[in-house]
């Protein structure tokens, strides 16, 4: 970076010497000590960066904004090795589009799509403007699959058991309730799917007047 103007005895403007040429108001002491940050440095998991614009990481009271938390958590789910240890469904299987690695671009989308249902946020393999919906936490939890079966080769909520005669049967649960025990895995999955579809429709109808039409339609389409 280099100083391009001096506003008074201590206040200066520096320009970053990269392709973005971002300008930052700062004080000379910070410049001298190397404390001036480039808004285009990829400081979030070596990929995400703040950019230049109206969207901020902290508000006027020094509190981290919900926008920044949402953005950073999105990147963490995709690229944090530590996070992946407890959440294998994300790491290496999801990604953030280049556009959204800039907080300012994500902020524009977030501001235009956020709505309040007095709760939180749908699962996706790519985070991008045309692929995402902001989803209430309760609806999002319907699609979570982190609680796996004790039998790792089976879908969540289905376990394998054996009768005295050695016959294998499949016990099915959904949303904490037992659905039944079946002779085949396919039948167990079908019965679970029927219950899950019914539950999704019930929750979608409950939120009908509080969520966007495109979210309601996406739930029914699923």
pLDDT digits 0-9 by tens, 110-168? 988 776 554 444 445 677 887 777 788 788 878 765 455 556 678 888 999 888 888 89
Residue 118 has a pLDDT of 46
For the chain, list residues with pLDDT below 70. Answer: 86-92, 115-125, 144-152
> Can you tell me the distance from the alpha carbon of 218 to that of 124, in angstroms, rounded to the nearest whole number?
13
pTM above 0.95, yes or no: no
> Can you tell me the distance from the alpha carbon of 127 to that of 74, in angstroms, rounded to the nearest whole number?
8
* N-term to C-term CA, the chain: 51
Residue 124 has a pLDDT of 52
Residue 123 has a pLDDT of 46
């Amino acid at each position: 970076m280099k100083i391009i103007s001096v506003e008074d005895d201590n206040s200066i403007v520096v320009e970053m010497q990269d392709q973005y040429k971002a300008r930052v108001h700062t004080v000379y002491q910070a410049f001298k000590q190397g404390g001036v940050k480039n808004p285009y440095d990829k400081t979030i998991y070596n990929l995400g960066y703040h950019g230049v614009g109206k969207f901020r990481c902290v508000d006027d009271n020094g509190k981290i904004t919900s926008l920044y938390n949402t953005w950073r958590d999105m990147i963490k789910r995709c690229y944090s090795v530590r996070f992946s240890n407890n959440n294998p469904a994300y790491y290496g299987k999801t990604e953030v589009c280049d556009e959204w690695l800039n907080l300012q671009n994500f902020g524009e989308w977030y501001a235009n799509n956020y709505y309040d249902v007095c709760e939180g946020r749908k699962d996706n393999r790519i985070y991008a403007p045309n692929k995402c919906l902001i989803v209430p936490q309760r609806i999002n939890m319907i699609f979570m699959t982190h609680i796996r079966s004790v039998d790792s080769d089976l879908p969540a909520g289905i376990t394998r058991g054996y009768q005295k005669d050695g016959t294998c049967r499949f016990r099915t649960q959904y949303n904490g309730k037992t659905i039944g025990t079946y002779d085949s895995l396919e039948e167990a999955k079908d019965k679970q799917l029927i219950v899950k579809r019914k539950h999704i429709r019930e929750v979608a109808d409950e939120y009908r007047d509080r969520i966007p039409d495109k979210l309601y339609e996406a739930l029914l389409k699923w």
